[in-house]
Amino acid sequence: MNKKILVTGGLGFIGSHTVVALQERGFDVVIIDNLSNSSIEVLGGITKITRISPEFENLDLRDKQAVNNFFEKYQDIDGVIHFAASKAVGESVQNPLLYYENNLNTLIYLLQQLKEKEAPKFIFSSSCTVYGQADELPITENAPVKKAESPYGNTKQIGEEIIFDTCSAVPHLKAISLRYFNPIGAHHSANIGELPIGTPQNLVPYITQTAAGKREQLSIFGNDYPTPDGTCIRDYIHVMDLARAHVIALERLLDDEQAENYEVFNLGTGKGNSVLEAVKAFEKVSGKKLPYTFVDRREGDIVAAYADTTKANGVLNWTAEFNIEDAMESAWKWQQKLEEKN
């Protein structure tokens, strides 16, 4: 009998790629998504890749009764991977209560259900944003969690604390928080990828939309940072490397004797690239010259962040296999597929 995994936010960017990886690993998947930041078409994209249509429940995890009803209906959930959350840094500053309700109440309702189960396993989608501007690079999991620069970042920090405290109080609950650096790219089939709604906040979808002629030019937020070329440095990790890490982490939790009650892992490539280097990588793989201009720094941006991946490499036996050019190539192929559709 296949193990059944609930993936919340499973029609989102990282969620959908993780559903594919789970199905290909033989897990049965049920998705919860309220379609607030995703499209039902993603379900078709997943099915096109794996030929298996995941079960899908369109429900809002802020509705406590709906969450309870879900677990009444699906008594056979063996684990949960929780992606569903709001994730726009700037929006969280404008509307903090939306972020605290959507990112924390939902987590609490899920954990309240899970703790009643026999051997619950939980994976939390966290972020390197919890480190803020780290004092030392590369960033290890022991780096201090600093005062968040945004309510979004704060919800990730508080979320991790809620899980830690719950695992301490409920010994049969096992959990892992995965701190992503900068997820980019798309599945190589271009049947699923990043689907930003409205103007992309993140760098790579803005680059691909500019190359596709949907945006006039890329605005690079600041070229006066203390870095070799003056632009910010990030650790851009292929979304399929990230998806594979979730399956490995889940199998660690399911294989009981290995995992501690609560563990945290950084997921990155371990390599930092500047914004200009990211642009050059895109130009190289796409053969397109990208129009860009330098503008003022963006509020809240940190100068540099890239992961020390020693722990995930060793404990999870996981290492990112794709580089930034692979990721840019897959992102561009996905954007071109989107243009064909529209």
Residue number, 158 or 170, with CB nearest to ligand WQD: 158
Q: Which of 99, 109, 131, 152 is catalytic?
A: 152
- Near ligand WQD by CB under 6 A: residue from 30, 32, 267, 275: 275
The amino acid occupying position 272 is: G
Phi then psi dihedrals of residue 271, to 5 deg: -120, 135
180 catalytically annotated: no
Supply the minimum distance, in Å, between the C-beta of residue 298 and ligand WQD.
5
By CB under 6 A, name the one of 81, 84, 232, 316 that touches ligand WQD: 232
Residue of 16, 34, 127, 157 interacting with ligand WQD (CB under 6 A):
127
Instruction: Quote the Cα angle for 262-31-50, to 5°.
Output: 105
Q: Which is nearer to ligand WQD, 140 or 223 (CB)?
A: 223
> Whose CB is nearest to ligand WQD?
232
**What are the helix (H) ranges across 7-74?**
13-24, 41-50, 64-73
Q: Which stretch, 38-46, 158-166, 170-178, 216-224, contacts ligand WQD (CB under 6 A)?
A: 216-224
Which residues are within 8 A (CB) of 35 and not within 5 positions of it... i.e. 6 or more apart? 11, 58
Contact 21, 92 (CB under 8 A): no
For ligand WQD, which stretch binds (CB under 6 A), given 3-11, 69-77, 195-203, 251-259? Answer: 195-203
SS3 240: helix
Residues 6+ apart with CB under 8 A from 139: 128, 131, 266, 305, 306, 307, 308
* DSSP tag of 102: I
CB of 203 to ligand WQD, least distance (A): 4
Closer Cβ to ligand WQD, 103 or 127, answer by number:
127
Q: Which of 45, 122, 39 is nearest to 77 (CA)?
A: 122
Q: Is 223 in the site for ligand WQD (CB under 6 A)?
A: no
Of 291-310, which residues contact ligand WQD (CB under 6 A)? 298, 301
Q: What is the DSSP string of 159-197?
A: HHHHHHHHHHH-TT-EEEEEEE-EEE---TTSSS-----
- Residue 4 near residue 27, CB atoms below 8 Å: yes
Q: Which is nearer to ligand WQD, 12 or 120 (CB)?
A: 12
Q: Which residue in 234, 244, 252, 271 binds ligand WQD (CB under 6 A)? A: 234
Which residue numbers are catalytic? 152
Interface residues with ligand WQD (CB under 6 A) are: 87, 89, 127, 129, 180, 182, 201-203, 206, 218-221, 232, 234, 275, 298, 301
